[in-house]
Structure 1
Amino acid sequence: MSIYQDIGGAKAVKAAVDEFYVRVLADPDLVRFFEGRDLDSLKANQREFIGSALGGPEIYQGGDMDQVHAALGVTGANFDGVVGHLLAAFATAGAPAESAGEIAAVLGPLRSNIVTAS
């Protein structure tokens, strides 16, 4: 069984992504990365990416992680904050606690593609 199935599939991914945006938009350290952007498009891309990364049937059609984040100046602390909010959002959406480590293991390798600032 995939992580995607373990957490509840598309319904759980949608709920977690919606909760994630509530969290990051309320976070003074992260809100600047999301303000003034098309949130519906960001959410759709994130649902595709996460669904695909966790073993679901979604196909990510967004941009390359390096290119999408290159000009944003994301620090390691920013990356950790985003992952923390995403894991908390999955917990709020009802994902089993043991899935957090598996989700983090999938997201962790993206750090080198996303962090561009000290």
Structure 2
Amino acid sequence: MSIYESIGGAPAVSAAVDDFYVRVLGDPKLAPYFVGVDVPKLKAHQRAFIAAAIGGSEIYAGRDMSSAHAGLNITDADFDAVVGHLVDTLAGLGVPEETIGQIGGALAPLRGNVVTAI
């Protein structure tokens, strides 16, 4: 069984993305990155990206991570804050710790494509 299936499929991914963005947009350090961003469109891309990354049948057709984050000057601290919000979101939805670790392992290699500031 894929991680996607084990957490409840599309409804679980959708709930996670919604909660995640409540947390991220409520974070005063991260919120400025989203000024002027079409958040509903971003959420749709995020749902497809996460689903594809954890074994769902969705196809992510968005930009690659480097292109999507170019010029944003994202720091390691910002990346870590986003990961923290994701972990809190998943834990709050009852996702087992082991599964959260597997999801983190699938997403951790993206740091080099997202962090653009020293």
Class of the TM-score when normalised by the shorter of the 2 chains: over 0.9
Note the C-alpha offset of 1:32. 0.9
- The match for 1:49 is 49
- The match for 1:8 is 8
Note the C-alpha offset of 1:95. 1.7
Gaps of at least 5 residues in structure 2 are none
Note the C-alpha offset of 1:84. 1.1
Code of the residue aligned with 2:45 in structure 1: it is: N
Note the C-alpha offset of 1:5. 1.1
1:24-103 superposed matches below 5 A: 24-103=24-103
Q: Secondary structure at the match of 1:98?
A: helix
Count of residues in Structure 1 that have an aligned counterpart in Structure 2: 118
Note the C-alpha offset of 1:97. 2.4
Note the C-alpha offset of 1:115. 0.4
**Partners of 2:35 and 2:5 in 1: CA distance:** 32
User: Structure 1 residue 108 and structure 2 residue 103: aligned?
Assistant: no
* Moved segments of 4+, more than 2 Å: none
User: Structure 1 residue 23 and structure 2 residue 23: aligned?
Assistant: yes
**Normalising by structure 2, what TM-score?**
0.95
**Partners of 1:3 and 1:74 in 2: CA distance:** 28
**Partners of 1:98 and 1:8 in 2: CA distance:** 15
Alpha carbons 1:13, 1:90 under 8 Å: kept:
no
Identity fraction in percent? 58
Code of the residue aligned with 2:83 in structure 1: it is: V
